[in-house]
Structure formats: C-alpha cells, structure tokens
C-alpha cells in the first residue's frame, strides 16, 4: 500500500474527531473507570485530547490512523466498488494484511468483535443482511503507522505519558487476539518492510574472534513470509519460516517470538533456533540491538518468550540455508462407512490408519520429513479422513522408503477394510522429486486463499516422541476423541529441533522432546448467539483437557493454542517462566506490553486493562 500523503490527513482527522467526540460523550455518561491501576481507554474521559493527538501526529512520519472494521465499506455503500472488493477478498490473507483498512482488520474475525458483559456482541459482519450494525468491536480507534525507530519511540512515549492500553500489530494473524484491544492504542508495524541480505554477518558487539556468519538476512518486522521467501530464493537460499494460504503470517514479529515452527524445522530447527540478532524498542523508548554478545538476557527472552510482550520488534536477522533438491509427499483419502452413529465420530479404518501414521512419525522426522497431517471431513463423503503433505531433503537415504512404507500400509488397508469398518479410498499417494523448496512453496501457496476471514478458536498440545514410540494407540485414540471439526498432526518437531539445548532460548523446553504439534479448531457462523459461541468454546476446553491428560506437565505452542489454559505459565514457557518474569520486570517494569496468557498477564484482569 502506498503511504498516505499529508493531503489526506484532514479526512482521517474528520473520522478520528467523530470517534473522539463519541467516546468522550460515552465517558461522561458512564463515568471513567481509569485509576492508577488501570489503563486509559478510548471510552473514558482520560483519553488524550484532539490537541494531544495533533501534537503527536505533527512529529510522526505518517498521519495517525483511524482503524475501522474491514466490512465497513459494505455498510457505508453496499453497491460501491470498495464493498465489492471486500466481498471478493474476504478470505484472502494477503488482502486482509495489505488493504487500505487493514490496520483495523484481523485475520480471524472473532478477534475483531467484542463480547460485552451482558452477552451481546459488537462486530461488523460481512453479511449485512443479518440485521446487525457495523460497530467498532475490539478494533482500536487510533493507531500509529510506524515507518522508523523514531516513529516507534514517539508512539511508545505517548502511550506511557497517557497510560494507554497498547497493542502491536503487523498482519493480525493471531489466534489469541493479541494484536487488537477494545479502546486501545495501536502500533502498526506493517510498513517496516526493509530486507537486507548479508553475504557475511557479524553480530553487533561481537569480539574480533567472534563468529562470522555467511548468507544471513535481516527482515523488518512488517515483512510477511512470502516476501522473505522471495528474497531468500533470489539468492539460492532457503529460510525457516511459516506457511499459510494468502501469506498472512509475519516473518519477524509474533511468529518468531512465540517459537516459529516450520515444515523445514526437522531439517534446520525452529525459527528461534535460526535467529542471529534482533532489534527492539522497549517501554522506556530505548532502541536495543540484542544478540549473544549484547543484552543476552533480552535476546534469550525474545526467542520464545511470546510476541507483544517485550516491546516493539524492529527487525530480526536470520541464518539462511543452501537451497537443495527435495522430495514432496502428498497423501489424501476419503472414508465411507455404514457403522457411524451419533456417538461414534471416527471409523475403525481411520483409527487404524492414524495409529500407523503415529507409529511411523518418528522415522519420518529422523529422515528429515516435515509436514502436516490433517483429520477432517472429506469433501465427497463428509466423514473424517486423514491427509498429509510433507517435504524432506532428497539427500536423505531413507526418506523415500519411510514414506513409501506408509503408503503401502494404507493401500493394504484400503484393500482389506470392510464397509462396516470404513471403506478407504486413497485419492493421492505420491512422492515427487523437486529441484528445491522454492518450487514447492510457490506452487502450493502463491495466490491461495483460505484459513482467514472466519470465526476460529484453537487448542493444541505438544506430543512427546516417547508417546509415538511406546503408545501409538493412546495418541490416535486421544486425537480421534476430540469433538471438533479439525485436528492437525503437524510433524514439525523432532530431528534438528530435538538437537538444540533446551535452555539456549526462552522457548518451552517441551519442544525439544516433542515430535508433533497437535492443533485443533472450531468456529461459529457470523451472527451466532452467545450461547452458541460458549458451546463451541466448551468443545475447545474439553478437547484441551483430553490432550492435557495424555501429556501431564507438557506444553503447547504459544502461537497456536487455547485462550483457556489452566496453567499458561507451565504450558507455554515451562521451567523458563521465572527467568522470563524477572527479565520482564527489568525491561518493562510498568507492564506496558501485556498480552493474553503472556508473561506477566496474571497480574492483570481478564480484559488486561486493570491490575488484578
């Protein structure tokens, strides 16, 4: 998106003034709840004046933002070209990140809504015929479109001065709602788009005999993985990164701060294992360049200690890897059975197939396979079935044999399974040799839509390798017992992930003994009642409890997990939490940066607005 010029600032201020007037009137009628222990929200009389915002804007490189809901053009003018674009692009993550209204959007729409204490929901639904008004919901009313360190410092200092609720956002791809908050003040990093390729890279402050790295890349915190991949591919290199239709995942923000899993992780480790240096502005307005030599405690915390918690990340420098030939596996099935009933959600055939998948998963990661298994209703029968897509280095001597062995088992099962157990139809079971990861990523994910634009909540658990080796049936049974529409077996641990010192980064040590990240999701239609939403959330909680019972004392991936963890400190950070808490107090003593289930959030109320 091209930067908005100063000639458009009057229009922006016109909308902003309306918002400010409305919120001031609300504050007068409702009274201000802002006290010394609470943040000041836009619905309260303590909210900064128009003059204060004008003074801030005068020093920024860009006009202030007045974020709005993505569907709002269809309420303002249903027949407009702008509304048509919204309707056509609703499930396109790239559009949601880059549209002219994207500062106010979230990749999953439920986090743009607001559930009021009395049960009613404020949102802005794409379907205007539902009869609901388009309301601001949880979208902040004012934001800063930062383009430099100085912009970030100005925004942070303003927020500290006025005691504002701060949220940091790039794309809005976030299953916790960490990048939005009702009544908050938004710091939008999306236009920090610098990419620098280093033939050689020596971290700042390194001694003369310090390690010099070759082929590193520094990414601004507004970069999305599609952009990062293109830069790496242009140099004949691969980089450990996220995968999503529509390129909605940021490359140098919450993804890496939460750990950053990748289909390349069994080969090269997690995102945090590939970071050489980071830069950040903390709550005191200071700019830090951190690495193994400079402020190593903060560098440690940023690698797995959770996004939105430590400050505003400006950039991340990654090690890249040589681009080499790969094998790509594709496996899809459908199942039809006459034996399913109201209390049976999985066929015997699916149970047998999944148990075998669990059994061979250790051999997959040992030979370099990384990939995504998915259990969901098949399109042709509507009954749950298993699919898988994965890649492995072509140089791995046994990678092809391991996958072919699983395919052979599936074929034998298809030939022998009875209709009562479930007739298995294998629609694809192929292994393809490709020249590089770039060919695979470009073919599968460029120009794709999906995953975004709906109401979705998640739960997850890291399953240790020991379970896959010694108790495959328990793993399969637990996964199939989850009463949710989608269960993912993301085999993105093991291999190189398991060979990293668990204490070298802040990431939960449970990752180092895990083999798979099992994630499940459920959602609801726009306009659903609070009771329907609560019932869906109950499914998430029950499913989470089932996997927790399978892995007592285990962990989950901070970026794709549940908002209802009973012990988030242990689940997301494990034995590292106490050290993280101490570093948090050092670098953010006022808790300016607080996110749901993040470090220090236990000291705040459920809305993260007032100290508990």
Query: Residues 241-268: pLDDT tens digits?
Result: 998 877 789 999 999 999 999 999 999 9
pLDDT, residue 119, reads 85
The answer to whether residues 22 and 42 touch, using CB atoms and an 8 Å cutoff, is: no
Average pLDDT (368-378) is 95
Q: What is the pLDDT of residues 481-498, one digit of tens each?
A: 998 999 999 999 999 999
- What is the model's pTM? 0.92
**Residue of 126, 21, 32 whose CA lies nearest to 453:** 126
Is pLDDT of 213 > 50? Answer: yes
Average pLDDT (272-277) is 98
Q: What is the pLDDT of residues 150-203, one digit of tens each?
A: 999 999 999 999 999 999 999 999 999 999 999 999 999 999 999 999 999 999
- Taking the CA atoms of residue 87, residue 90, residue 92 and residue 97 in that order, the dihedral angle to the nearest 10 degrees is 110
Is pLDDT of 108 > 70? Answer: yes
What percent of the chain clears pLDDT 70, i.e. is strictly above it?
92
Neighbours of 98 (CB within 10 A): 17
Chain mean pLDDT for the chain? 91
In angstroms, the CA 287 to CA 279 distance is 7
Band (23; pLDDT cuts 50, 70, 90): very low
Tokens 């560098």 correspond to 299
* Contact partners, residue 347, CB within 8 Å, separation at least 6: 335, 337, 339, 340, 383, 384, 421, 422
Average pLDDT (422-445) is 96
Q: What is the pLDDT of residues 448-507, one digit of tens each?
A: 777 899 999 999 999 999 999 999 999 999 999 998 999 999 999 999 999 999 999 999
pLDDT, residue 339, reads 64
**CA 304 to each of CA 34, 271, 503, 504, 591: distance values in angstroms, whole numbers, following the listed order:** 32, 9, 11, 10, 18
pLDDT, residue 36, reads 67
Is pLDDT of 313 > 70? Answer: yes
pLDDT, residue 379, reads 79
In angstroms, the CA 368 to CA 406 distance is 15
Average pLDDT (431-456) is 92
Domains of the chain, with CATH numbers? 6-188 (3.30.43.10), 195-322+575-603 (3.30.465.10), 324-435 (3.30.70)
pLDDT, residue 21, reads 34
Q: Is 154 helix (H, G, I), strand (E, B) or coil?
A: helix
pLDDT, residue 340, reads 58
Tokens 């939008």 correspond to 188
The answer to whether residues 351 and 487 touch, using CB atoms and an 8 Å cutoff, is: no
Band (101; pLDDT cuts 50, 70, 90): low
DSSP-derived letter for residue 284 is: T
Side-chain half-sphere exposure of 470, counting CA atoms within 13 A: 6
Average pLDDT (72-91) is 95
Q: Is 530 helix (H, G, I), strand (E, B) or coil?
A: helix
Alpha carbon 525 to chain centroid distance? 21
In angstroms, the CA 57 to CA 55 distance is 6
In angstroms, the CA 485 to CA 503 distance is 36
């Amino acid at each position: 998106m091209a930067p908005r010029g100063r000639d458009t600032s009057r229009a922006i201020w016109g909308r902003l003034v309306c918002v400010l007037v409305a919120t001031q009137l609300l504050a007068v009628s409702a009274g201000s709840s802002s006290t010394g222990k609470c943040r000041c929200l836009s619905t309260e009389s303590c909210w900064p004046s128009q003059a204060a915002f004008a003074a801030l804007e005068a020093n920024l490189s860009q006009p202030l933002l007045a974020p709005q809901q993505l569907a709002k053009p269809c309420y303002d003018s249903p027949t407009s070209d702008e509304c048509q674009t919204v309707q056509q692009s609703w499930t396109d993550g790239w559009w949601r990140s880059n549209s002219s209204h994207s500062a106010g959007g979230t990749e999953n729409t439920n986090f743009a809504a607001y559930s009021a204490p009395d049960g009613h929901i404020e949102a802005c639904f794409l379907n205007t015929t539902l009869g609901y008004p388009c309301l601001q919901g949880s979208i902040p009313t004012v934001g800063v479109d930062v383009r430099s360190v100085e912009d970030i410092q100005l925004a942070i200092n303003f927020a500290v001065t006025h005691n504002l609720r701060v949220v940091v956002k790039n794309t809005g791809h976030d299953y916790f709602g960490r990048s939005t908050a009702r009544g908050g003040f938004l710091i939008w990093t999306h236009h920090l788009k610098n990419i620098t390729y280093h033939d050689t890279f020596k971290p700042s402050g390194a001694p003369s005999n310090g390690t010099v790295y070759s082929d590193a890349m520094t990414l601004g915190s507004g970069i999305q993985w599609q952009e990062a991949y293109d830069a790496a591919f242009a140099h004949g290199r691969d980089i450990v990164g996220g995968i999503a239709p529509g390129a909605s995942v940021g490359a140098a923000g919450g993804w890496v701060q939460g750990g950053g899993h990748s289909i390349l992780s069994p080969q090269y480790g997690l995102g945090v294992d590939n970071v050489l240096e980071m830069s950040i502005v903390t709550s005191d307005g200071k700019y830090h360049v951190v690495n193994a030599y400079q402020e190593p405690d903060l560098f440690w915390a940023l690698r797995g200690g959770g996004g939105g918690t430590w400050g505003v990340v400006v950039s991340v420098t990654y090690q890249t890897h040589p681009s080499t030939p790969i094998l790509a596996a594709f496996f899809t099935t459908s199942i039809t059975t006459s034996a399913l009933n109201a209390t049976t959600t999985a066929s015997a055939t699916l149970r047998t197939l999944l148990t075998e998948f669990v059994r061979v998963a250790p051999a997959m990661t040992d030979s370099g396979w990384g990939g995504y298994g998915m259990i969901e209703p098949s399109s042709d029968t509507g009954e749950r079935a298993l699919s898988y897509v994965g890649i492995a280095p072509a140089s791995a001597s046994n990678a092809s044999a391991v996958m072919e062995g699983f395919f052979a088992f599936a074929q034998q099962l298809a030939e022998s399974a009875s209709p009562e157990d479930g007739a298995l139809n294998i629609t694809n079971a192929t292994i393809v040799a490709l020249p590089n990861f770039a060919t695979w990523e470009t073919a599968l994910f460029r120009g794709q839509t999906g995953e975004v634009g709906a109401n979705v909540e998640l739960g997850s658990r890291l399953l240790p390798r020991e379970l896959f080796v010694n108790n495959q049936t328990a793993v399969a049974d637990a996964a199939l017992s989850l009463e949710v529409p989608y269960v993912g077996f993301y085999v993105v641990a093991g291999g190189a992930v398991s060979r990293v010192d668990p204490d070298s980064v802040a990431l939960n040590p449970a990752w180092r003994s895990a083999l798979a990240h099992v994630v499940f999701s459920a959602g609801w239609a726009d306009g659903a009642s609070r009771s329907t939403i609560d019932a869906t959330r109950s499914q998430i909680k029950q499913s989470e409890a089932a996997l927790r019972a399978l892995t007592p004392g285990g962990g989950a991936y901070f970026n794709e997990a549940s908002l209802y963890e009973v012990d988030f400190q242990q689940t997301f950070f494990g034995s590292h939490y106490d050290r993280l808490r101490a570093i948090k107090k050092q670098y953010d003593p006022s808790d300016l940066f607080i996110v749901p289930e993040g470090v220090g959030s236990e000291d705040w109320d459920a809305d993260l607005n007032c100290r508990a």
